[in-house]
Structure 1
């Protein structure tokens, strides 16, 4: 490990330098505790509702309602957070979520009909705390214009993936080993405690922006065309997650080895984590827009091969490649928010992207489920192929919208942001930070 450097321009954009950022530890640990329950929510609902109704179909409906509700309401939470501050939104949010999840669990145990459970799933999903976007907003505020920002985006991507690996395992163990409702009860408790501790770390919170410097209300993040293009790209990524979950389960069941589903999905998730770690440890020579396009080309190509898998070893290898291709596209998309969206709307922008992944995943679960029921597991893999192909076409057609905004077009642009975005905005082919590739 090299010694720490003292200037931002010479800092190696590795994880060691990132974690030495003053004040980072204060929000990272409670932030992780508050977002771990997010990985437990869907599987806990599935297991509890399936136990009480005896139907995976009914359980899937309730879980899908939760995911769609979260996806639609997350941007509203982000907008309110930008305007009023993280603590002002997070504290009542975690209280509401804990109450809503507890109510859903009580209804399920009481034998309520599916329509009542689906109705109760709406507030449970709508109130999911957007801790991940809030952590990303804190990084963006601390590292504005810094070469460490892509490293922070990679770190957050790996953290998200880790929660999606650990959360379902923990929830499954609780639901099957203790009580069918234990997963949801634990999710509610962890959300409440972790969210309140995270909200108490006020020193690192971005300042709320109720108005722009001119005194007018700031524009919604969705009004910036670059974010709308990224939303389409993230819909495709969400479809990969959803399509893989359903199709892997169906494939292993058809092969007579349903227990292998966890192993295959673990290989897929491991590929995502490995690529995420690598992306954050590299000082890229090419700009983020080109990285996004190249990453998405690789993701689309890999996803297009999934339906050809004829054996579990082959499917495991292809799943690993797909996982390796997701991280570069996902991380780069989050990184581009700094140059596309003003500081007073970034939390909203991050929630749009997070919600886009959740919405794409929910829709893909439904479509892939119908295809696998009607035609077999291989047809479910057509969903990731079609979704990524459509998203790639959109990215290529609208890539000009992803050019960094010039200082005059960014509201409240800081000097650091002006310096960071000017080179690539002036030249479509400008390279990013011209430093050697280094690994910390």
Structure 2
């Protein structure tokens, strides 16, 4: 806890952490919100999974390109433009009764235009704290973001129960608009200058640690997307039990993030943390009631934030500063593609054999992720001695 206290004493850092958490809060609600609303509108989880997959794929394909635009047109201009387009597309989904193809198109546009909050803030962090505090900061951030997954699903299902799926989705997009505005107005964001990179788009993927992080995180997040769908299918649309189970899982992640945040990153760290997730998901296979699923997914959650923090630390420790926005965007792309595959396959499995089918999908995907991380551990950096100083680059003006 001493390291976390030292992190929070950095001038302006506590404020930027809070603001970016608000801006990212809708990410804990959109997956379930779109899944519930599209199932309600079109009648099957397969259709809902297709729309959610389009949203995720749109986000994934556009992410690396959009982040590079921040160096060319400025961080604020890109954030404002993407927020307006994304909110407009989501508004059409939440308020209009559209055919499936139109919802798929709107979902893809909304995803492609999602403001790049996460790459922006993770690019900003190394400019705000000493390098020896970066690893604890990434763990602290990964743990705190689980607040999104604790309160997001519970709030969503409560709103669906009281308002219905369409109005609830509208509330979520309002939260997105307000959160993005607060983030954009932050002095640290407005004054962030990202130098243009000399590399072509995608060249950063030639770095083995980056490519490995993209592939492993894709399978890992795909597994959790499948579990989300399975929990919703098990308890039914709008059931408070679904939000409780997912919230308990997020609480496990919160605790795991704080507990392991001070531990250095080694080549084995990702594999070990994903194995914890795998054990929890395997325990969840025979469970169909709230208590059993909550315990199993709490165990799985203990490895979630630590694994996500490890990916962030690996990028910070192996990629030049000018290329970090794109590298983080590729991590996001991998995770979103994984979520798309996980959601789509889980939807088919649910329609075929029920909620347990989605849990089987999750177990297989996380097992593959853990195996890849273990087999290719030599391509992961050893950060036990800390993350080195980033190379010199354009200055970032921070408030005095």
- TM norm structure 2: 0.85
How big is the shift at 1:393?
A: 2.5
Q: Is 2:161 the counterpart of 1:161? A: no
How big is the shift at 1:193?
A: 3.2
Single out whichever of 391-400 and 122-131 deviates more from structure 2: 391-400
Q: 1:116 aligns with which of 83, 102, 110?
A: 102
Long gaps (5+) in structure 2: 394-400
* Counterpart position of 2:316: 338
* Counterpart position of 2:76: 87
SS at 1:104 equivalent: helix
| C-alpha distance in structure 1 between counterparts of 2:40 and 2:196, whole Å | 46
| Counterparts of residues 187-226 of structure 1 (less than 5 Å) | 187-203=172-188, 206-212=192-198, 220-226=203-209
* Counterpart position of 1:7: none
| C-alpha distance in structure 2 between counterparts of 1:38 and 1:240, whole Å | 16
Output one character per residue of 1:45-77: Cα deviation in whole Å (capped at 9) or x when no partner: 334444444554433332221122112222222
* Counterpart position of 1:400: 378
Output one character per residue of 1:341-363: Cα deviation in whole Å (capped at 9) or x when no partner: 11111122222223322322221
Q: 1:273 aligns with which of 251, 254, 259?
A: 254
Q: Is 2:375 the counterpart of 1:390? A: no
Change (3 A) 1:349 1:55: same
SS at 2:119 equivalent: helix
Output one character per residue of 1:151-181: Cα deviation in whole Å (capped at 9) or x when no partner: 2112221232212332333344444434643
Compare CA radii of gyration and give the structure with the larger one. Answer: 1
SS at 2:131 equivalent: coil
| Counterparts of residues 238-253 of structure 1 (less than 5 Å) | 238-252=221-235
Single out whichever of 186-195 and 387-396 deviates more from structure 2: 186-195
| C-alpha distance in structure 2 between counterparts of 1:99 and 1:239, whole Å | 27
Q: Is 2:43 the counterpart of 1:62? A: no
SS at 2:268 equivalent: helix
* Counterpart position of 1:436: none
| C-alpha distance in structure 2 between counterparts of 1:129 and 1:389, whole Å | 31
* Counterpart position of 1:177: 162
SS at 2:145 equivalent: helix
* Counterpart position of 1:306: 284
Single out whichever of 330-339 and 354-363 deviates more from structure 2: 354-363
Output one character per residue of 1:216-252: Cα deviation in whole Å (capped at 9) or x when no partner: 7797432322111011221122123112112334445
From the two aligned structures, give the one with the greater helix fraction. 2
| C-alpha distance in structure 1 between counterparts of 2:43 and 2:354, whole Å | 23
Change (3 A) 1:211 1:230: closer
| C-alpha distance in structure 2 between counterparts of 1:172 and 1:251, whole Å | 14
Change (3 A) 1:97 1:227: same
Q: Is 2:27 the counterpart of 1:42? A: no
SS at 1:345 equivalent: helix
Change (3 A) 1:301 1:48: closer
* Counterpart position of 1:364: 342
SS at 1:289 equivalent: coil
| C-alpha distance in structure 2 between counterparts of 1:379 and 1:49, whole Å | 20
Q: Does the 8 Å CA contact 1:87/1:202 hold for their aligned counterparts?
A: no
How many pairs are equivalent?
A: 387
Q: Does the 8 Å CA contact 1:74/1:352 hold for their aligned counterparts?
A: yes
* Counterpart position of 1:143: 129
Q: Does the 8 Å CA contact 1:339/1:404 hold for their aligned counterparts?
A: no
Output one character per residue of 1:244-273: Cα deviation in whole Å (capped at 9) or x when no partner: 1123344456xxxx6533332222221111
Change (3 A) 1:288 1:149: farther
Q: 1:289 aligns with which of 254, 258, 267?
A: 267
Q: 2:3 aligns with which of 13, 17, 27?
A: 13
